[in-house]
Structure 1
């Protein structure tokens, strides 16, 4: 079992799902400019088809 911080686990799961399912989306304030809540969505613009 991998040990990681909660926000890292959320980021990993979000990235996996956004890469896998093109109907997924992430909505919030300052998602791109400031990294979003707890920096969870960081890196999403690099994922093809990411709906942000």
Structure 2
């Protein structure tokens, strides 16, 4: 499944949302869906090892 979404916000606001699990769970899912973050690691490059 591929989901595309245009987010019309300043880049700083989007960057901040990527660093907060609760923020990410609010805006990341497509309309009509919900999300819950169980684990979140913002260490540089941590997502490259998964």
Both proteins in one fold, TM over 0.5: no
TM-score by length of 1: 0.31
Using the size of structure 2 for normalisation, the TM-score is 0.32
Whose Rg is larger?
2
